[in-house]
Amino acid sequence: MIFRSCLLVLVFGTAVACSVTATRPLQEMADTDAAVRAAREVNAISLAPELFRQATEHHEQAKREYRLKNFHQAKALAQTSRDYAEKAEYEAIRAGGERAAIPEDPLTDESASEPEPNPEAATP
């Protein structure tokens, strides 16, 4: 009886420890989201449809596995999806797809590099 309960605690403790130590592939999922968006932006859906389809299918599978907390599987699927998305983006650009104009960086202000004159400092 005691042996059985000790074994049960040991098995349960190991299962909990494994689930706690698994790291969430947050960066991989974010990278995959960005790669799929970039491929969509250059119209890969029509210029490289098979590669884009593979990218989106693997991306959806990765999100599903992530929700189910299968983090190792989600990470592998996200990496595969990112590879397909990058290939789709490349093929779409080769086929004539163009990226939308890159907006100016709002944090870069040309007038901020030159100090504004202070009229009060100039008076004696």
Dist CA 87 CA 68 (whole Å): 28
Decide if 59 is inside a domain: yes
Could you list the residue range(s) of the whole structural domain that residue 45 is in?
A: 24-96
Domain tally, the chain: 1
What's the one-letter identity of residue 103? P
Dist CA 27 CA 94 (whole Å): 28
Decide if 110 is inside a domain: no
Count of CB atoms situated within 10 Å of the CB of 122: 7
Decide if 82 is inside a domain: yes
pLDDT digit string, tens, across residues 63-113: 999 999 999 999 999 999 999 999 999 999 999 988 776 667 667 765 555
Q: What is the DSSP letter of 48?
A: S
Decide if 36 is inside a domain: yes
Decide if 120 is inside a domain: no
- Taking the whole predicted model, whether its pTM rises above 0.95 is answered as no
Decide if 39 is inside a domain: yes
